Amino acid sequence: MKNIVLLVLLFFSVKSYNQVKLKIYNEEFKGGYLVLADNDEYCPVSVKFDFELNNLKSSNGNHKIFITPPRSKRNVITVLKSVKEGRYGFKYKTKFNYSSYLSKVDTSYVYDLPFKVDNQIIISQGYFGKRTHIRERALDFSLPIGTDIYAAREGVVIDVVDYNTKTCYHKDCSKYNNKIIIYHNDGSFSDYLHIDTNSAKVKIGDKVLKGQLIAKSGNIGWSSGPHLHFSVYQHKMDKRKFYETKFKVYEDGVPVILRREGTYYLD
């Protein structure tokens, strides 16, 4: 009697980013299947499986989240073996997202400002702002177009978009956001949005140092004026968890959390 394999569609949990580069496939052996995953990203990817099995037993259970290392091949998700003689098959649903959802983010880390300052910092929208940060701990730094942008923390570049040219002020315009996203070794990410067209100085896979030039500021995408949108977050399976960031602002002072809109004077 011929074995039956039930085919399914994969459901993605990532929104407003390029599709996560995770390939899931299976290999058949006598009496079952080996389910595997290739992660082509430069950061870990977490993937949640919900299996529906017909005359098969999973070596790792029917409902589980797996963490695949960056740039890795043939990660074994599970081994499916037939329970008894006869037909067998399976289907599954998945969700997956960047990073390890179990990572412990270092909230004590002190970031550099992502730009050079003389005597003031202007924040046009702070944490949980009333316009576009309603549910986000994110900062909009008011900067002239063409200002040098530097990495606030060391890490690996996982996404670069700098080809967009359109600017508009409604939510649908977020698809035009130019951006650089950097993965940190504690499982967190920082994003730098609205960078100028063709201004990126790094590419996907680059390891960047703290203070390294990465782009020029701009006014591209969902934006009401020239600025740099900056935030630090951790990916969960269905959402992001945002964090406050401590910045080194004064050479001899304690780290500062820049929460509010307005001008911070450094003198």
Q: What is the pLDDT along the chain (267 residues), one digit of tens a residue?
A: 333 333 333 333 333 334 789 999 999 999 999 999 999 999 999 999 999 999 999 999 999 899 999 999 999 999 999 999 999 999 999 988 998 878 899 999 999 999 999 889 998 888 876 776 667 898 999 999 999 999 999 999 999 999 999 988 888 888 889 999 999 999 999 999 999 999 999 999 999 999 999 999 999 988 888 999 999 999 887 788 999 999 998 777 789 999 888 888 887
Which domains are delineated in the chain?
A: 22-98 (2.60.40), 110-265 (2.70.70.10)
Between CA 207 and CA 174 the distance in angstroms is: 26
Long-range pairs for 86-89: beta carbons < 8 A, 24 or more residues apart? 86/1, 86/55, 87/1, 87/2, 87/3, 87/4, 87/54, 87/55, 88/3, 88/4, 88/32, 88/54, 88/55, 88/56, 89/3, 89/4, 89/5, 89/6, 89/54, 89/55, 89/56
CB 123 within 8 A of CB 38: no
| Matching residue, tokens 């006869």 | 86
